[in-house]
């Protein structure tokens, strides 16, 4: 089996790649387990820090470049994990870049898949940023996307495209709408949700950080551990289990920023949480306020997707995996 | 004021053009009435049967051709009524054509609008074909699109694009999701919904016609008269009335095919309805069964959009306007 991970040099991509290498085999579309022979990591920069493994190949290139992507898929590919995107804040500030990477490159990728001899399994990272509007609203799988950011709009479009390309048999698509992933290691990035990880990660490493939103703001989160498990699970679920909808809102946890900080204080002490400044950023707050934090995800749970049990578990797992 | 009607040679387009010429002035985005100085009718073939009117210009060309469309909008344009599309059955049979006309040409049009000095009002004809799934479901404005046809998917994408281009101030968009328009004059066409008009229109003109679906099937319909009024009304509604959603499910009537035929018999006699054959067409029935026939459209009614009062009114209005 040949696997391609698009955006595989990012944090989630790398975690997924390591998990796939450890497993050594995966099940696709309800079929029996098959051995991973090739695992190609594609990103705009070469993936760093991956193990020396004969199955692994790292390629850097521009996902918008048709020749590059056609070459990437010249060999038969069984499953594509697609995590490449321009993040939310960047897509809002640079409309043209967001449209190129988050929409046009995906239209091109889908056409390349349509031209393949065998319909590949395509697991796409979408986002709950497709929803927007009233903060009090509870989101179900049948709630209409109403994106209040260009990033959310672009994700909503690709969700619908993947559904139709799957309906027509061009691909075996699965779309996972990701909650905010917390806690990310590394540095703050241009995602509007970057602060959700930063307010835990930075103080735990003795660094000051700013929380740009009010403490009572609720967020909908999922840990890196569960999201990567859910990607592999998505590829495995048989097509018929999705009925006529390949899009799934992943299960998550609803927590306020205040609860996150209070649990951090219980775990790491007041000296740690004193490293958080509370200077509001109107731009970030205006976007975060359009992301509904309450979801009912019976469908995802019925399909066997996993959620975290508590914010303490998420913080402790971050400490164990990334800081020790 | 300069108006461009894309797809203006079609039946609804022509009816809209005639109505605009008769009115002589329209109100855009809540502003006072302004005089129509130029009315450009663009379609793939030259519009026929329009009056000799100094304000009127007919242009034929390919909506997919960038140079043609840029030239069409070289002069400042205040409002674009956009009815050009590959119809549902055709978009299902010819995937590439549907993607070109119903998606790519619209992406290009939106980019041309974005480059304009003044954001034009754009009234787009979308469709309830964005919905699909359970026949018993009642559709609200907050129900997620779940298209079961490529046509419906393409419309759902453009709806989201117009919302985001409007949010960013590139255009003043309004999207109307049209019920099945009945009763269309002229000949049957490649739309999957063509039979809804044909079962009334053809027998009234002494012609045999086939109903390809079961009599108990429900359809959601709107008359040509009301839909054209609603287009002009959409351009008039001030932006703020839409809040953060420019997409409106137009109000319609839910009727069974049997009710339509029974009312036709009451108006025109059994000799007329005996001209209907009842040979099922599996392809058409399979698509029509995915169009939900029951809608709650409080939002459209609150925004002042109009619906028909009864199927008798629709049949009688067709007889008066088109057959006498």
pLDDT value at residue A88: 86
Average pLDDT of the residues in B50-79? 98
Q: Point out the residue among A144, A147, A168 whose CB comes nearest to the CB of B142.
A: A144
Which residues in B119-268 belong to E strands, given as ranges? 121-127, 138-139, 172-178, 180-181, 209-210, 218-222, 247-249, 253-256
- Architecture of the structural domain at A2-180+222-249: 3-Layer(aba) Sandwich (3.40)
Please name the residue ranges forming H helices in A24-174.
66-72, 88-93, 95-98, 105-114, 150-167
Q: How confident is the model at residue B171 (pLDDT cuts 50, 70, 90)?
A: very high
The dihedrals phi and psi of A175, each to the nearest 5 degrees, come to -115, 125
Which residues on chain A place their C-beta less than 8 Å from a C-beta of chain B? 95, 132-133, 141-148, 150, 153, 156-157, 160-161, 163-164, 167-168, 244-245
**pTM of the complete model:** 0.95
* Cβ A44 vs Cβ A28: under 8 Å: no
Q: How many CA atoms lie within 13 A of A15 on its CB side?
A: 21
Q: Given the cut 0.90, state whether the ipTM is greater than it.
A: yes
B194-204 vs B311-322: helix crossing angle, rounded to 10: 60
Correct CATH for A194-218+253-293+309-322 of 3.90.25.10, 3.40.309.10, 3.40.640.10, 3.40.630.10:
3.90.25.10
Tens-digit pLDDT profile for residues A186-202: 888 878 889 999 999 99
Task: Please state, rounded to an integer, the average pLDDT across all residues of chain B.
Answer: 95
**pLDDT over 80 (residue B180):** yes
Structure tokens given for B276: 């209907």
- Judged by CB atoms closer than 8 Å, whether chains meet at B143 and A142 is answered as yes
Choosing among B130, B156, B159, which should be mutated to test the A contact, i.e. which has the most A CBs within 10 A? B156
Q: What is the average pLDDT across A125-132?
A: 93
Cis peptide before A183 (omega within 30 of 0): yes
pLDDT tops 60 at residue B80: yes
Cis omega (within 30 of 0) on the bond before A316? no
Q: What is the spatial distance between Cα B196 and Cα A161, in angstroms, rounded to a whole number?
A: 29
For B33: left if phi > 0, alpha if psi spans -120 to 50, otherwise beta; the answer is beta
Q: What is the pLDDT of residues A200-240, one digit of tens each?
A: 999 999 999 999 999 999 999 999 999 999 999 999 999 99
Other C-beta atoms lying within 10 Å of the C-beta of residue B49: 7
B151 given a catalytic annotation = yes
Is A146 within 8 Å of B245 when comparing Cβ atoms?
Answer: yes
In contact, B228 and B16? CB cutoff 8 Å: yes
> Is the CB of B133 less than 8 angstroms away from the CB of A244?
yes
pLDDT value, residue A135: 55
Q: Which of A142, A157, A168 sits opposite B160 (nearest CB)?
A: A157
Q: What are the boundaries of each domain within chain A?
A: 2-180+222-249, 194-218+253-293+309-322
CA–CA min distance A241, chain B (Å): 15
The Cα B125–Cα B139 span in angstroms is 18
Pick the catalytic residue: B124, B131, B151, B231?
Answer: B151
Does this chain's domain A2-180+222-249 share its CATH topology with A194-218+253-293+309-322? no
Instruction: Give the span between the Cα atoms of A123 and A172, in whole angstroms.
Output: 8
Could B132 and A244 be called an inter-chain contact, meaning their C-beta atoms sit closer than 8 Å?
A: yes
- The CATH topology of domain B2-179+222-249 is Rossmann fold (3.40.50)
Instruction: Measure CA of the first residue to CA of the last residue in chain B; give whole Å.
Output: 34
Q: Which residues of B touch A168 (CB under 8 A)?
A: 95, 150
Which residue among the candidates A42, A81, A124, A151 is catalytic per the annotation?
Answer: A151
DSSP of A169-213, one letter per residue? TS-EEEEEEE-EE----S---SSTTHHHHHHHHHHHTT--EE--S
pLDDT at residue B61, as a whole number: 98
Chain A CB contacts of B141 under 8 Å are 144
B247: closest CA of chain A, how far (Å): 10
Contact A133 B244 (CB under 8 A): yes
In A153-180, which positions are buried (b, 16+ CB within 10 angstroms) versus exposed (e)? bbbbbbbbbbbbbbbeebbbbbbbbbbb
């Amino acid at each position: 089996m040949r696997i391609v991970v698009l955006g595989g040099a990012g944090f989630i991509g790398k975690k997924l790649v390591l998990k796939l290498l450890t497993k050594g085999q995966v099940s696709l579309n309800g079929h029996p387990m098959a051995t991973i022979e090739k695992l190609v990591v594609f990103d705009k920069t070469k993936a760093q820090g991956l193990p020396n493994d004969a199955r692994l190949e790292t390629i850097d290139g521009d996902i918008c470049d048709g020749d590059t992507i056609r070459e990437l898929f010249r060999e038969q590919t069984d499953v594509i994990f697609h995590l490449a995107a321009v993040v939310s804040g960047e897509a809002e500030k640079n409309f043209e870049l967001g449209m190129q990477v988050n929409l046009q490159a995906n239209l091109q990728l889908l056409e390349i898949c349509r031209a393949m001899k065998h319909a590949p399994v395509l697991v796409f990272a979408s986002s709950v940023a497709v929803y927007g509007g009233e903060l009090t609203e509870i989101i179900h799988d049948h709630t209409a996307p109403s994106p209040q950011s260009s990033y959310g709009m672009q994700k909503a479009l690709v969700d619908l495209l993947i559904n139709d390309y799957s309906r027509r048999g061009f691909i075996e698509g699965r779309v996972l709408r990701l909650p905010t992933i917390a806690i990310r290691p590394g540095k703050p990035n241009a995602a509007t949700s970057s602060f959700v990880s930063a307010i835990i990660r930075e103080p735990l490493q003795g660094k000051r950080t700013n929380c740009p939103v009010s403490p009572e703001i609720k967020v909908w989160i999922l840990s890196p551990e569960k999201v990567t498990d859910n990607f592999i699970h998505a590829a495995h679920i048989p097509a018929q289990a999705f009925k006529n909808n390949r899009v799934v809102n992943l299960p998550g946890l609803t927590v306020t920023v205040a609860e996150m900080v209070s649990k951090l204080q219980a775990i790491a002490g007041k000296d740690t949480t004193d490293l958080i400044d509370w200077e509001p950023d109107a731009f970030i707050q205006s976007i975060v306020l359009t992301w509904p934090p309450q979801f009912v995800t019976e469908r995802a749970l019925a399909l066997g997707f996993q959620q975290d049990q508590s914010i303490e578990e998420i913080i402790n797992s971050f400490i164990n995996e990334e800081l020790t």
